[in-house]
């Protein structure tokens, strides 16, 4: 029998039992739809406790929508979004950001999955030229697509560059919780305090079910304009939940009693353990620093199919035989040890 859990993605994990319980608790009687309900008010209060007052929060169903609508709120179609060349918005959203914003995405090379000011400044040109798209947003992913973590000073430097050049900093925080846990920072210290303007805040990968949020951090009064029309963008984007209470109660639970942090810390710890198991296997080469809940490794080509027969996972880069193994809130030490043993056997011809 195949193991109950594998290492393909934190998306493959189920819903955290506390969240499932909260959903059942919210499943009583009728409540007003579309967000005008006590669960939504309470969840928004929780966001304000974590991120501070003056923010605007909107719930959506998935991360792609969160990114697309967040970017849409910041841009006009003649503008451009600068992002990493492996950014989820660039490689994994089927062109949805381009479709919804009308903007060009400008991919730039990254270092260990991270954008640098130097790389961004290389593509910041054509300003005021009517023939050229106008860069308006720098988008970073935290944790990165290769599960590394931007240091606070790296985010700050990108924010400073963006703001000095009349651009915004968007953060795809599908795994922000893992990053904050890794850095030992609060959610606010990992985002707003570093100069992030709009955050796609992930819930699904951290134990929720179809619950993501777009969070606006206005720095000056005119920035309030950005979120003002978001209600309409969300509805046009088909992301307004009629039974909003079931998204809201999940966030309320995630943001209570440090559930977001405990789950992320656990997933990160399991990835650390997995790395330690793999370091003992000479045929396995770890590709990136293991800083959150994912391990990327190059392994002998023949071993990939052998391991996949028992454990489902994705090949990240076929040319390099690089695989991606992710841990979740529900990964156990036993899962990791068994997997490590299986990999060790599979790589011996």
The residues that touch ligand PLP, with contacts defined as CB under 6 A, are: 11, 62-64, 88, 141, 145, 172, 174, 204
User: By C-beta, is 284 or 326 nearer to ligand PLP?
Assistant: 326
Q: For the CB of residue 205, give the shortest distance to ligand PLP in the complex, in Å.
A: 7
What are the C-alpha distances in Å from 13 to residues 31, 127, 178, 189, 332?
29, 45, 15, 28, 12
The answer for residues whose C-beta is within 8 angstroms of residue 183's C-beta and 6 or more apart is 149, 151, 152, 190
Q: For the CB of residue 200, give the shortest distance to ligand PLP in the complex, in Å.
A: 7
- Backbone phi, psi, residue 321, to 5°: 55, 40
User: By C-beta, is 64 or 110 nearer to ligand PLP?
Assistant: 64
Contact (CB, 8 A) for 81 and 137: yes
CB nearest ligand PLP: which residue?
A: 63
Task: Report DSSP state, residue 114.
Answer: B
What distance in Å separates the CA atoms of residue 224 and residue 129, rounded to the nearest whole number? 28
Task: Extract the tokens encoding 234.
Answer: 């969300």
Q: Is the peptide bond before 62 cis (omega within 30 degrees of 0)?
A: no
Q: For the CB of residue 92, give the shortest distance to ligand PLP in the complex, in Å.
A: 7
Q: For the CB of residue 143, give the shortest distance to ligand PLP in the complex, in Å.
A: 8
Q: For the CB of residue 122, give the shortest distance to ligand PLP in the complex, in Å.
A: 23
User: By C-beta, is 70 or 340 nearer to ligand PLP?
Assistant: 70
What distance in Å separates the CA atoms of residue 227 and residue 218, rounded to the nearest whole number? 9
User: By C-beta, is 210 or 300 nearer to ligand PLP?
Assistant: 210
User: By C-beta, is 68 or 281 nearer to ligand PLP?
Assistant: 68
């Amino acid at each position: 029998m195949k193991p109950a859990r594998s290492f393909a993605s934190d998306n493959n994990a189920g819903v955290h039992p506390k969240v499932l319980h909260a959903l059942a608790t919210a499943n009583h009687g009728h409540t007003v739809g579309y967000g005008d309900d006590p669960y939504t008010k309470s969840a928004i209060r929780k966001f304000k406790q974590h991120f501070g007052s003056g923010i605007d929060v909107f719930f959506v169903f998935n991360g792609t929508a969160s990114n697309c609508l967040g970017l849409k709120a910041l841009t006009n179609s003649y503008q451009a979004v600068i992002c990493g060349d492996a950014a989820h918005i660039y490689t994994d959203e089927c062109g949805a950001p381009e479709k919804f914003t009308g903007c060009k995405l400008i991919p730039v090379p990254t270092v260990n999955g991270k954008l640098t000011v130097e790389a961004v400044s290389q593509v910041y040109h054509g300003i005021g030229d009517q023939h050229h798209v106008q860069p308006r947003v720098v988008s970073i992913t935290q944790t990165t697509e290769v599960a590394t973590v931007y240091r606070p000073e790296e985010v700050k430097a990108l924010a400073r560059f963006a703001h000095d050049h009349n651009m915004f900093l968007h953060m795809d925080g599908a795994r922000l919780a893992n990053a904050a846990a890794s850095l030992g920072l609060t959610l606010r210290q990992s985002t707003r305090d570093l100069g992030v303007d709009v955050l796609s805040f992930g819930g699904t990968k951290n134990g929720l079910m179809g619950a993501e949020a777009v969070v606006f951090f206005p720095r000056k009064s005119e920035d309030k304009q950005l979120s003002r029309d978001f209600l309409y963008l969300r509805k046009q984007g088909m992301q307004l939940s009629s039974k909003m209470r079931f998204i809201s109660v999940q966030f309320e639970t995630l943001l209570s009693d440090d559930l977001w942090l405990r789950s992320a810390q656990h997933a990160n710890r399991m990835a650390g353990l997995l790395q330690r198991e793999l370091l003992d296997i000479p045929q396995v080469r770890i590709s990136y620093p293991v800083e959150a809940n994912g391990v990327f490794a190059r392994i002998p080509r023949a071993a990939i199919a052998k391991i996949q027969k028992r454990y489902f996972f994705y090949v990240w880069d076929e040319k390099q035989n690089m695989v991606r193994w992710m841990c979740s809130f529900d990964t156990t030490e036993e899962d990791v040890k068994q997997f490590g043993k299986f990999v060790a056997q599979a790589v011996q011809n």
